[in-house]
Structure 1
Amino acid sequence: MSTDTTYLQDAGLPVTDLGPVLAGERHPLLFATVSGAHLYGFPSRDSDVDLRGAHVLPAEDLVGLREPEETRSRMWDSDGVEMDLVTHDLRKFVRLMLKPNGYVLEQLLSPLVVHTSALHAELVALAPAVLTRDHAHHYRGFAGTQWRLFEKTGELKPLLYTFRALLTGIHLMRGGEMLAHLPTLLTRVPAPSYLPGLITAKAAAEHGGADGVDAVAVAGDVESLHRMLDRAQAESELPDGASGFDALHELVVRARLVPVSAG
C-alpha cells in the first residue's frame, strides 16, 4: 500500500501527517480519501476534515458468533482542526456501491486520496459498472433533505449542498461521470450566476447564514434544477441496473482470503 502523508493545499486542506493515524488502524485499509466540503469545493476556514474509506476484516470476524465491526469511526484533533475517519468493511462498502448510492461512489472516486492500494484501484476501475440512471434518485433525495435543512436553519451550507447534489446528479445522468466539485460543476451545467458568490461567503464560516439571499428566487432555481434532473434521468444513456456484481463479488472474496499486500 502507499500513503500520501500531506493534504493538497490547493484544495484548502491543512498540511497534516496522516501516517501514524493510518498505521494505527486495526484492520488493513484499502483506501482513505477526503470527502465533505473539501471534496465539494466549498470548505470554510473552520470546516472539519472528513476522511472516508474501506477496510478488510479477517475472515474469522465474519464466521464467528460476535457481530463484526463493519463500520469503524475515529475522531481526533490535529492542530485545531477536527478530523474524522469513517471506514466500512469491504463487503459492506461494495454492497453500498451496488445500490444507487452516490455518496460511497464519491468517496471511492475522490481525487483527494491520502491512502491507496491495488484493490482500491480495482474498485475504481469497476465503478462505471455500478452507475445507473437510478442514481438520480439518490441526488434528488439528498437535495430535498438539504433544502429542508436550509429552510429550517437559513445557513449557507445546506443551500450549497442542495445545489451541489442537483448539479452532480444532472452531470452524472448526462455524461456518466461522477463529479462532486461544485466550482467545476458550474462550468459544466447551467446554474444560477450567484453560486460563486455563495461559495466565497461560505469560506468565512462553516455555519454562516445565507444573508442577502432572495429565498423566493433561490426556491425557483432549485425547482428548475429538479426539473432538469428529471429530464436528464429520462434521457440518460446509463443502464437501468448495475452490471458489476460478479466482478465485485470475486474481488471481495479474493480480498478476504488473500492478505492485503503492504507493497
Structure 2
Amino acid sequence: MTTPQRYDRIAFVASSGAEAQQALTQLTQAYGNHDPDHADVVVALGGDGLMLQTLHRQMRSGKPIYGMHRGTVGFLMNEFRTLDLHGRLAAARETLINPLLMRATDVHGGVHLHHAINEVFLFRQTHQMARLRILIDERERMAELAADGVLVATPAGSTAYNLSAQGPILPINAPLLALTPISAFRPRRWRGALLPNTAFVVIEVLEGEKRPVAAVADHDEARDIRRVEVISDKTISMRMLFDPGHSLEERILSEQFGY
C-alpha cells in the first residue's frame, strides 16, 4: 500500500476578496503560513483566476497546488473547509498538466515567448475580421480562416474560453488539444479540430497591416502579430491536487452532461 504523502509545511495564498482574506486569516491561525519557497504545498484561496496566477508563479517549482473555492468561478478549486486540512491534503489525488508554449512574432520582428495553462488565442484588434492561415506539423490545413480569431486550448482550459467559443470539452488526461475558431465567418461551418498534444501549431496572420491581430497566452498579450507557434511544453509538469470524488477529471466529465 502506498504511504500517503504528508504536507506539513503549508503556504497559503489568497485573492483580495473579502471571503478569501477571511479564509486566509482562519487557516493561518489554524495551520501557520510558510514561505512558498520552503513549503511542501501551496494552498490557493480564491477562484480560478487566482489558481491560474498561482500555477504560473509555481510553474517550475514542482510544488503541488491545492485550491479552495473562495472566489467567483471555482472550476479548478476544491470545496472550502477549515477542518483537517492535513488529512485532506494527504488524501488528495494528483493531476499533472503541461502548459502551452507560445512563440509570437510581431510585424516588427519582435519575438514574444509566454506559457499558457488554459489557452493561446489570436483575436482581431479592430472592427475588421482577422484572416488567418493554419499549419499543423508544417503542413497547411487551412489556407484562410476569416473569423474574429482562433484558439488552442489544453484539456485543463477546455472548459474556459474554449467552451464559450463552442469548442469541445476534453478529459484532463486526453493527449489532445482543441483548435477552435472564434466567430468564424468563412468557412462558416467549420467548428474546429482535435489535435494530438504533440502537434506543432502555426497560425499566420494574413494582411496583418490592414487587419491587425493580437495573440494572448492566458493573460500575457502581444499585439500586431504576424505569426504564432504553439506547442505543449512537456518539459514542465504542474501538480494539482483534488479531493477524491472532486477531481478535475470528474468536473470535466460532469460539464459534458450539463451539470
TM bucket by the smaller chain?
Answer: under 0.3
Q: TM-score of the superposition, structure 1-length normalised?
A: 0.24
Q: Which has the higher strand share?
A: 2
- In the superposition, the TM-score normalised over structure 2's length comes to 0.24
